Structure 1
Amino acid sequence: MPVYTCTCVQGSLTPDVKDELAAGITTIHSDISHVPPDYVDVVFAGMPPENVYVGGRPGTPLLINGWARRGHPQDATTRLALALAEAASRTSGIPREHVMVVILASPARSAVEAGRVLPEPGHEAQWLAEGRAGARGSRPAASTSPTRPPSTPVEQSRTDLEETLMLKGYTVPLSPKGEANIAPTPPWHYAGDIVGVEFFTEPAAAEATLPEGLDPDPDTSGRVVAFFVDWQFNGEQDEYLDPVRSQYREFFVLVDARHQGRPVSWCPYIYVDNHHALARGWIQGFPKKAGNVHQTRVFASPGKASPTLSPGARFGASLSCDERTLATARVTLQAPMEDPSALLSRDTINLRHFPTLEAGKYDKPAVHELVRMDYADQQVAEVWTGTSEIELLQAPGEELADLAPVRAGMGFRASMSYNVTQVEPLG
């Protein structure tokens, strides 16, 4: 249904790059606009170098003009353009400042494909079903000639894709409207208040949690930071206005490590009290489990029931899972943190792991990859530090207590926000 024309200088894109770029455009459009991949057309137009200028001088830009049916939500079209521009720059090697994506729209009734006027956005399933019904109805009742195979592999692939994509959604459950999925399509936006505790465990215990590809950090051996967070989530549909779904609380620990010599953080354990957040976490590689997390809150109106961000203010936090307490913490504030950027100095590394459910292949996961969290527009505010204490408790089916502290570090209280659009595979 959509058509993309990629205009570039002749010879600036190799055949392999064109293949990869066409596949990327197809996948992105299919995922965001819920159109079967076989219906996405990509055309490359090469121009002689003497006919292409940037800023009045000869250049090698990449111009992508797309056509789509009018009626798609504007936020989806914007996300589509941004994703296409990023993929085009990454694939072609052309700097993003020389990549331009323009998506134009006109009424669906102005276009015809497969001999039929295209459907309005949101009516693709009916259009596809009618097309298949029409194809069945046009077949002769019987024939004495040799039977033709019901379809070529390409035709069967298109049919299978159409059947699958009639159900919509970013995560399961896929559904006719695409509203029932546990987690919506990114970007995802987060804001929260943190009660945090830095502590040091036995270096061997910290190292034991590291996956292949990560090494202990010799400069901060055994360092762990525990976070108790009161979160609020938002997608692109003002989800924060539905607090029962958007608000949740979470506990996790980050262990200092190194990846190819670079200081990073690794998250071996994390607990959350909201199944939407749990699903988003698994997609990102956070090994989330269900738990109950509580922490002392701050309110704008001070009083006996609320501490203020001031010297001597005290905060408590706790984690439980399966009705067993796993962690308790106390933080007493002393002063504002002079350089809050220290809290964001390490990238977070996760392991996306999805097992295979097939006899004889349980040890061969379908996905097993280290990824770097790509936090966009990450900010911290009102960061106070002070003294801390934390206790990790033993419980059946848990290994968090193996990171038991042997030395306390600083405690802190802060607010943080960031956005998530992707993770970066580390190979």
Structure 2
Amino acid sequence: MEDVRESYYNTFSLPITKSGKSQIVPPPPWIYAIEMIGVKAYFDPNKVLDVIPPPLEVEDGEGFVYVAKIWTVSGNIWEMLYEDPEETKYMEAAIAFKVRYNGKIYTYFPFMWVDKDLPMIRGWLLGYPKKLAHISISEFHKLLDGYNGPNSGVKMGGYALRNGKEIIRMKITLKEKVSQPPIPFGPIVQFRRFPAVQDGTDVYELGQVISSDFRVGEVWRGEGELILNGSVNEELETLKINKIERGYYFNWSFKQLGTKILAKNIG
């Protein structure tokens, strides 16, 4: 039987089908609305070196660890918010560091975890090193007296479990409302790494994640507590905390458009 199909299907991501309906990640733009708690800390720069690949340079060990609940719309498919609400929300935990590249300050995430496949694969396309984990965070409810929103004295907590092992646990005590969130330190840079499997093209490049339409809601600052644990497939125990500065709770939103490549053929 003669094959009269087009020579290729222009699907953005796998699986490849004619309609593209089955693809795990629709094309950008990708919209995010985030509620998070986090702890700003300073780490031993000599230990941070082990997780910051060149050509990035460690600045001063300043970092931020967070746990977040994220609502997202991928590819402007807004009907997903009511057609499949579960596909439009996920949990995330991550560690960010202030780094330097070509004399400029950037934000780099050496570790990141999510609890669903769509944000994990989308993250890899952009260079975020996402793994699957179980993640939880304190949540407010407008009818829960004493816990209906951020206020001075309110305590919040969160954690991340990777294969049953607790790798992150934090607690914050809110004190005051402030104007600025603690991150990002600068534009976000990440490594896109797709190794050649026998034949094929080996991709190892540094890219700047391009974002726009930033909006910030309430930002609360207070005291923070943070515990990082290692595991068989993790290296968090190597990150020595020198000083915990503050704990934070805040909401923000933005749009991600893709990646601008800064350096190719790394390694």
Output the TM-score relative to the length of structure 1: 0.58
Query: 2:67 matched to which residue of 1?
Result: 228
- Aligned AA (2:245): G
Query: Which 4+ stretches in 1 moved above 4 angstroms?
Result: none
CA contact (8 A) 1:347 1:373 kept: yes
- Aligned AA (1:331): I
Show structure 1 runs of 5+ residues with no match: 1-127, 133-161
**1:8-39 C-alpha deviation (Å, 9 max, x unpaired):** xxxxxxxxxxxxxxxxxxxxxxxxxxxxxxxx
Total equivalences in the alignment? 259
Find the aligned partners of 1:259 and 1:345 in 2 and give their Cα distance. Answer: 13
Question: 1:343 offset after TM fit, Å?
Answer: 3.0
Structure (1 or 2) with the greater helix fraction: 1
Question: 1:163 offset after TM fit, Å?
Answer: 2.3
Pair 1:339 & 2:180 matched: yes
* Cα 1:210–1:316 shift into 2, 3 Å: same
Query: 1:348 matched to which residue of 2?
Result: 188
Query: 2:141 matched to which residue of 1?
Result: 299
- Aligned AA (2:144): P
**1:257-283 C-alpha deviation (Å, 9 max, x unpaired):** 101111111110000001000010000
Pick from 400, 406, 425 the counterpart of residue 236 of structure 2: 400
Percent identity for Structure 1 against Structure 2 = 23
Query: 1:267 matched to which residue of 2?
Result: 109
Query: 1:324 matched to which residue of 2?
Result: 165
Query: Rg: which structure is higher?
Result: 1
CA contact (8 A) 2:98 2:185 kept: no
Question: 1:397 offset after TM fit, Å?
Answer: 1.4
**1:108-133 C-alpha deviation (Å, 9 max, x unpaired):** xxxxxxxxxxxxxxxxxxxx954x8x
SS in 1 for 2:218: strand
Query: 1:423 matched to which residue of 2?
Result: 259
Find the aligned partners of 2:210 and 2:231 in 1 and give their Cα distance. Answer: 33
Question: 1:246 offset after TM fit, Å?
Answer: 1.1
Query: 1:36 matched to which residue of 2?
Result: none
Query: 1:254 matched to which residue of 2?
Result: 96
Pick from 178, 191, 194 the counterpart of residue 36 of structure 2: 194
Which aligned pairs between 1:134-149 and structure 2 lie closer than 5 A? none
Question: 1:406 offset after TM fit, Å?
Answer: 2.5
Output the TM-score relative to the length of structure 2: 0.91
RMSD of the alignment, in Å? 1.8
Query: 1:285 matched to which residue of 2?
Result: 127
CA contact (8 A) 1:307 1:314 kept: no
Pair 1:205 & 2:47 matched: yes
CA contact (8 A) 1:232 1:240 kept: no
SS in 1 for 2:87: helix
Query: 2:18 matched to which residue of 1?
Result: 176
**1:174-230 C-alpha deviation (Å, 9 max, x unpaired):** 11321000000111111010101111221111122112221121xxx1111012110
Q: Which has the higher contact order (CA 8 A, sep 6+)?
A: 2
Find the aligned partners of 2:148 and 2:49 in 1 and give their Cα distance. Answer: 37
Find the aligned partners of 1:343 and 1:203 in 2 and give their Cα distance. Answer: 19
CA contact (8 A) 1:334 1:385 kept: yes
Query: 1:214 matched to which residue of 2?
Result: 56
SS in 1 for 2:105: strand
